[in-house]
Structure 1
C-alpha cells in the first residue's frame, strides 16, 4: 500500500468519525447520542450489539438513512428515539431485531409512508410517535401486527381522511390515545374508529372539519375522556343527540371554531363532563339550559365570543368553579350573579370577565360581590389607567337587553379614543 493510499484511508476515517454521532451510555443500559458534524447513515456498530441496552436516543443526530443490522443484537431494547432526523424511508426489515421494543419515536423526520410488514417482528410496540412527517399513505395492514398498541400520534402529516381505510386499526383495539391533528380529516369514513374499545383521548385539532364528525361520536367510544375539536370550521351544535354516546367524556374542546348555533340540550348526555372550552367562536346567545344540572362540570371557557346576555339559569345545578366570560359584549349581569350561582350548586373560585363593554354601575356591583365572596378575578386590569367601563350621568345598572347596543357602542367609541 502506497503512502498516498494510507493518507487517504486515514483522512476517510477521520471524516467518518466526524460524521458519526457521539454516544454515551448511562447506567449501563441507556445510550444517548448527539450529532456529529455531518449528515450520517446509521450503520451497525454505533448502537448495536449490546444485549444490556434498554433505551437508545438518537434524537437530532442528522441521520438520513438506516442500514440493515443497525439494531442487531439489541435483545433488551424497549425504547428507541429517532426523532428530529432526516429519514425519508425505512427499509423493510430494518427494525426487525429489537423484538422487545415497546416505544418507537420517528417524529419530525421526512417519512411519506411505510413498507407493508415493517412492524411484523416488533409486535410489542405500544407507543408509536409519527408526528411531523410527510405521511400521506398508510397501507391497510401496516398496523395489524401491533395488537398491543395504545398510543398513536399521526399529527402534522399529510393524511387525507377520505383515503384512510376504516379497517386500518382493526387489530389494535386497545388504543387509548389517538392524534390526527393537523391532517385533513374531512370525509373520513364514519366507521374509522369502530374497532376501538378503550379510547380515552382523540385529538382532531386543525383537521378542516365543518361539523362534529360521526366517526368521533360512535357508541364504542363511551370510554373517551377527552375530545379535542379545536381550530376547525364547525358552525353549529344543533343536533341534541350529537354526543349521546359519549357519556364518559370529561373534557370537550371546541375552541377556535365558528360556532353560532347551539341546541340547549346538546350537552345534557355528558353527565361526566368536567370542562368545556368554547373560546373564540361566534356565540351570541347562551341557551337557558345549556350547562344546567351537569353534576361534575367545574370549568367553562366562553371568552372571545359575542355574548350579550348571560342567563343564570344556564348554570343551575352545576358545581362551577371556573368561569371565563372575557372578550364578549356583556354590559351587565343579573343582580347578585355569583351568589345566585352559589345558591344553585355553584362553587365559583375564579371568574374572569374583562374586557367587556361594562356599564360602570353594573361592573361596580360585580366587583363588590367577587371581593366580598373571595372569588379570584383579573384584578390587575382594574388599575384606573385604562377604560374598563362606560357610564352616563345617570349612574345606575340598567339590567335589560334593550340598553346593550347603546353601551356597546359607547364603549367602542371610548376605546377608540383612548388608543389615539
Structure 2
C-alpha cells in the first residue's frame, strides 16, 4: 500500500510502495475528522473502493492525479461535502456515471485533463453550481457530441479548457449559460474557423482566449469579435493564417497581448493595430516582408517580436518613429531575418541608442545575420527584396 505521512496540520501526502498497481480501500486515508488535504498522486491506484474516503468531514482538497484509474464507481466520492478542489488528471478515465459529483456542492476546482474521456453525460456537472475552474484538456471529446446544455447549472465557471479535443463540430450555443467566463483555452482543437460558441454576446467577460495550434486560415469580419469587449489576451499562434482583415481586431478595445507567431502571414493591413491598447505584439515566424510604423500608431507597444520573417529592411528611423507614434518599445526582437547589412546596422545603432532590449546573442559577430549587397546603402523598396532573398536563401 502507499506510504502516507502527515505534512503539517490536516495534510496527508502518500507515495507509492513496491507494487505495480493498487486498489484504494478504506483504512489508507479514511476515518480522520481533521484531515483537510489528501495527496495520492502517482500512487499507481487502479481502482477506488467504496468508503475509501469514509468519515472525512473536513476534507477540502483531494488529489488523485497521475494514477491508473479507468473508472470511478457511482458513490465512491459520496460524503466529504466540503471538498473544493478535486484533481483527477492524468488517469485513464473514459466516462463518469451520472451522479458522481452529486455530493460535491462546494467544488470550485475540477481537473479532468489528460484522461480518455469520450463523452460527458448531460447533468454530470449540474450539482457543481460553485465550480470556477474546469479543465477537460487532452481527452478524446468531440464537440459535436457535447450537449450544449451541459453547463446550464455551472454557469459561474471562470476558467475552461477544451485544449487537445476535437471541438470543430461544437454547437454555437455550447457556452450560452456562461456568465463570468474569463479564460477559454481552445488550443489544438482542430478548428478550421473561429468557433461561434466563443464569440457570443455573453462572452464580454472573457479576458484570455487561446486559439493556438488549430487550422485557422483567415481572421476577418469587422464584427467577428464585437462581443469580446473585455478581451485582454488573444493567442492565434501556430495556425495557417494567411489573411487578416483590416478592422477585425478593432472591437477589442482592451486587448493588450496578441500572438500571431508561426503562421503564414505575408502582409498586414496598415491600420490593423492602430489606436489599440496593445503592449505585446508577436509576429514572429511568419512571411512578412514589410510593415510600416503606421501599423502601430496609437498603440502602447512595449514588446515587439518581428523575428524569423522575410524583412530585409525596416522604415528609416523605425524606433524613433515608433516613439513619435506613441509606442515606447523597450524589448524588440528582429533576429533571423534576411537583413541587408546596411539596414541592419542602422537598426542596431538605433536600438542601442534608445537602450532597447534585443536578442544581442544573435548579433555577437560570430553568426551570419545579414546579406551584404551594396555597401553602406540600405535599399528600402520591396522590389529589391528578391535580389536579397536569392543570396540569403542560397
* More displaced 10-residue stretch of structure 1: 28-37 or 254-263: 28-37
Question: Of the two, which has the highest radius of gyration?
Answer: 1
Q: 2:16 & 2:356 partners in 1: Cα distance?
A: 52
Written as runs of structure 1 = structure 2, the 5 A alignment for 1:198-217 is 198-217=180-199
CA RMSD of aligned residues (A): 0.8
The structural deviation recorded for 1:394 is 4.3
Give the distance between the partners of 2:103 and 2:344, measured in 1 at CA. Answer: 66
SS in 2 for 1:222: helix
Q: Deviations over 1:287-307 (max 9, x none)?
A: 10111000x210000000000
1:141 and 2:123 matched: yes
Q: 1:226 aligns with which of 183, 200, 208?
A: 208
Unaligned runs of 5+ in 2: none
CA apart distance, 1:229: 0.3
Residue 70 in structure 1 maps to residue 48 in structure 2: no
1:286–1:311: 8 Å Cα contact kept in structure 2? no
Q: CA deviation at 1:97?
A: 1.2
Which of 337, 357, 382 aligns to 1:401? It is: 382
User: Does 1:388 find its partner at 2:331?
Assistant: no
Q: Is the contact between residue 342 and residue 375 of structure 2 (CA under 8 Å) also seen in structure 1? A: no
Matches within 5 A, 1:134-283: 134-283=116-265
3-state DSSP of counterpart to 1:377: coil
Partner of 2:298: 317
Normalising by structure 1, report the TM-score. Answer: 0.93
Is the contact made by 2:231 and 2:254 (CA closer than 8 Å) also made in structure 1?
Answer: yes
For residues 303-337 of structure 1, give each alpha carbon's deviation from its aligned partner in whole angstroms, at most 9, with x where no partner exists.
Answer: 00000011111100001100000000000111000
Structure 1 gaps of 5+ residues are 1-19, 414-420
**Which deviations, in whole Å up to 9, do the C-alpha atoms of 1:110-140 show, x marking residues without a partner?**
1000000111111111100000000001000
Aligned partner of 2:34 in structure 1 is 52
> For 1:393 and 1:297, how far apart are their aligned partners in 2?
37
Task: Please state which structure has a larger fraction of its residues in helix.
Answer: 1
Contact 2:373 2:388 in 1 (8 A): no
Task: Tell me: CA distance 1:334–1:228, structure 2 relative to 1, closer, same or farther (3 Å).
Answer: same
What pairs up with 1:360-379 in 2 under 5 angstroms? Answer: 360-379=341-360
Give CA deviations for 1:247-291 in whole Å, capped at 9, x if unaligned: 100110000000000001011111111110000000000110111
- SS state of the match for residue 207, structure 1? coil
Take 1:339 and 1:131, find their aligned partners in 2: how far apart are those partners?
A: 47
Residue range with higher mean Cα deviation, 281-290 or 380-389: 380-389
Aligned residues: 393
Tell me by how many angstroms 1:242 deviates. Answer: 1.1
Deviations 1:139-163 (A, max 9, x none): 0000000000000000000000000
